[in-house]
Amino acid sequence: MKMDIQISSALRHLKVRENLLSLSLERLSSGLRVNRASDDAVSISISSRLRYQLSAISTSIDNLNDGISILRTIDGALSKIGSLLARARNLSLKLNEDTNTELDRETYREEIKQSLLEIEDIVKTTRYNNKPLLAAPSKVLYIEGKEYIEDFYISSSLPAGTYTMSILSAGKMSEVALPLRTIQDISPSTSLYSALGESVSDGYIKTIYITSDGKTVGVPLTISSVNGDTVSSAVDKINNALRENDLSIVAYYDSEGKQIVLSSTEAGTRYAIDISEVNSIEGARYFSSISEVTSLEGPEGLFTYRKLTYIEGYRKGPGVTGGTLLRDYFNCTGPVTFEFTGFGGRSVSFSISSTYTLDYASLLIKNQLRNELGIDVGVTFNSTIDRFVFTYSNPAERLEVSITGGVHSEGYEIIEAREDTQLGNILDLQGSLSLTFLDETGSVATLILNESSTIGDIINAINNLNIGILASYSDGKINIDQSNRVNKIFEVVQEGSAVFSIGKETVNTGYPVLSPPEDIIFSFNDKVYTSNCREFRLEGISFTLKKEALSLLPLIRFQITPEPFIISLGRERITFALPDVSLSSLGLDNLNLSDTDLLLSKIEVAVDKVSGERSRIGGLENIFRDILLTQDIYKQNLEETDARLLLTDIIQEVSNLGREKALLLLGTSLIGEMSNILREIKLAGYNIGR
């Protein structure tokens, strides 16, 4: 029936109105225009991306705030360090004040030391979330010449920078010999018994102890005329023991030199070879060594002595004349004590009042030297050069001085002795000096000298002893040639108020050093160092070079950069270097607090560095604040865009709700009336539509 169709159409439209009413109610109750993807697929997609960006921006804002907190923490620590440095600088200035006593200065130095220790404590304890902020760990950016390095380590506290290392000397390997003392020919198959020229009837065990790199290995060798070790088997035993104990040494037989040679395979004194031996019986032969006297030398080596040429005081300038008082010239308050030493070590000591003039002091010094030491010397104060000047009638005179009181310095002429130089100029000898020459048999001869004996007298006296030695003077010492003696003079016993230094030389040594080890010399950032092996250990850095690096002498460069501090802004990152204000970085470690000028200059450099770092940190904080402001604006714009896409328009939805509600009520009423009419017609029996 047509009415059925109309009712069905009305119900369908009524359902639509009901859905629209439900949608309006949902939007008003949730506040969202889009509650599911089907509401607006495009808006949901855009909103999802916007909300992802909002989440990232919120995290970035949090990170920026953390960064600002970190920078403020650093700034506070730098401010405190700056205050401590300023206090240290003020104390350094007070050190130069003459009004302070030495006790006052020591108190100032102690407070400076405590200030520096507090700076170091601030550096160590300034942290954020347990992360150090004032001593950023370092990392290696690159290594030029890495192929020459076996291992490499740097401390995280090593300051950033470029470090250049170059090998200046590759060092030398140690080489020591066990000589075989016999005139007969020796081959590898020769027994050690014969090679040593042994004469004992019974065989014995000779143990050779070899020490290198802190390790010692003992090698027992059988010395016997029957079934004893040969030169070849001895070398094999030594090499086996060296390999088993991991010593960097190799042994071989040198037929030309008739010796077993122990040669280090590594350069440097760490691998120096030391040898000793023990025989199992007495009377057996050793790889023996004999020392012979080779020279008579002065107390400090060469025959030299000093002649005083001038004394210089504290005060200088146009105002200093012969009439200047001693106290002004030497910057003292009490008397000045002079102790002069002359020929034979004779000395005179006297004090001069600080109220005397320089001219009068010159006269007193001259008279004392003439009267007490017999030295004819002119002493005058030269106001042109502000010095006491000493002029001698005897150019070979010896004179030295020790001064107590005031500020002063002395100048000397170092005179090398000649053959006509007397012993009293070389030695502090007063009276006689006896020399007794000894060899393995005992006393050979005795020589008596005195302070007036010249070097030429000594040489003639030794040569006239007729004991097979020849004396000569060269290179500032008396050389003793014993080439014509079988039993060498091994000692000189001396009796006197002063004695010679005895030069000795080892000949026919049991363990002659064929090549002494030498340390590797290298420069590191323009400073020269030595290393006793290929392992280099410096403060904060260590590395081991390969062997070929020593022969090629390569240039190796390390660039070290501090680990950057990173602030994440989504996919973008802000990196900045944390300040390094440790004492070593500021140049304030290992300070000599007695050198006031150097101390002050270093503190001022440190103040400038801390101020610069604080300025940089302040600039970074401003940058962070600008970025934070930009991020806040960006976030606000994204939130507004997201709201336009998803949030409900309340006025529109309230209007829609009223309209749909009215339509729904009206539609419901009409359908009810149509249903009543249709029911009445069916009851009357009419067939609508026929």
CATH code, domain carrying 654: 1.20.58
Do 207 and 128 fall into the same domain? no
pLDDT score of 183: 45
- Residue 448 located in a structural domain: yes
549 neighbors 168 (Cβ within 8 angstroms): no
> What are 641's two structure tokens?
């865009």
User: Does 213 map to a domain?
Assistant: yes
pLDDT reported for residue 70: 81
Are residues 187 and 113 both part of a single domain? Answer: no
3-class DSSP assignment, residue 92: helix
- Gyration radius from the chain CA atoms: 49
pTM of the shown model: 0.41
* 404-452 tens-digit pLDDT: 999 999 999 999 999 999 999 999 999 999 999 987 567 899 999 999 9
Give the C-alpha separation, 575 to 218, whole Å.
Answer: 61
Residue 488 in 3-state DSSP? coil
* Backbone phi and psi for residue 553, each to the nearest 5 degrees, phi listed first: 50, 60
- Bridge partners of residue 378, in order along the sequence: 391
Which of 309, 359, 308, 350 is CA-nearest to residue 329?
359
Q: What is the pLDDT of residue 127?
A: 81
Same domain flag for 483 and 437: yes
Total Cβ atoms within 10 A of residue 186? 20
The list of the chain residues with pLDDT below 70 reads 1-45, 47-48, 50-52, 135-142, 144, 155-160, 181-184, 288-291, 440-441, 506-510, 560-564, 570, 639-640, 642-667, 669-670, 672-675, 677-690
CA 82/CA 606 separation, integer angstroms: 9
**One domain, residues 428 and 500:** yes
Please give the structure tokens belonging to residue 14.
């009524």
524 and 601 part of one domain: no
Domain count, the chain: 6
Q: Single out the residue in 504, 530, 552 at which a domain terminates.
A: 504
pLDDT tens digits for 549-591?
Answer: 787 877 778 776 666 677 777 677 777 777 777 777 777 777 7
Backbone angles phi, psi at 21, to 5 degrees: -65, -40
Up-side HSE of residue 465: CA atoms within 13 Å toward CB? 21
> Do 283 and 206 lie in a common domain?
yes
Q: What is the pLDDT of residue 211?
A: 94
Task: At 480, give phi and psi (nearest 5°).
Answer: -115, 115
Contact 381, 387 (CB under 8 A): yes
CA angle 105, 109, 113 (to 5 degrees): 170
State residue 56's pLDDT score: 72
Tell me which H or E stretch contains 175. Answer: strand 173-179
* Any domain includes 38: no
Residue 690 is predicted with a pLDDT of 46
pLDDT of residue 424: 92
Domain that holds residue 27: 2-31+648-684
- What's the rounded Cα separation, in Å, for the pair 196 and 285? 7
Residue 370 is given by DSSP the state I
Q: What is the largest CA-CA distance in the chain?
A: 176
Note whether 416 and 302 are within 8 A (CB).
yes
Q: How far, in Å, CA of 519 to CA of 170, rounded?
A: 8
- Which residue in 260, 264, 236, 233 sits closest to 250, CA to CA? 264
**What whole-number distance in Å separates Cα of residue 370 and Cα of residue 86?**
56
Distance CA 236, CA 248 (A): 15
Q: Are 195 and 156 in the same domain? A: no
Distance of CA 101 to the CA centre of its chain: 36
Residues 245 and 147 in one domain: no
Residue 592 belongs to domain with CATH number: 1.20.1330.10
Q: Let me know whether 220 and 125 are in one domain.
A: no
The answer as to whether 330 is a domain residue is yes
Residues 336, 362, single domain; the answer is yes
Whether 509 maps to a domain, the answer reads: no
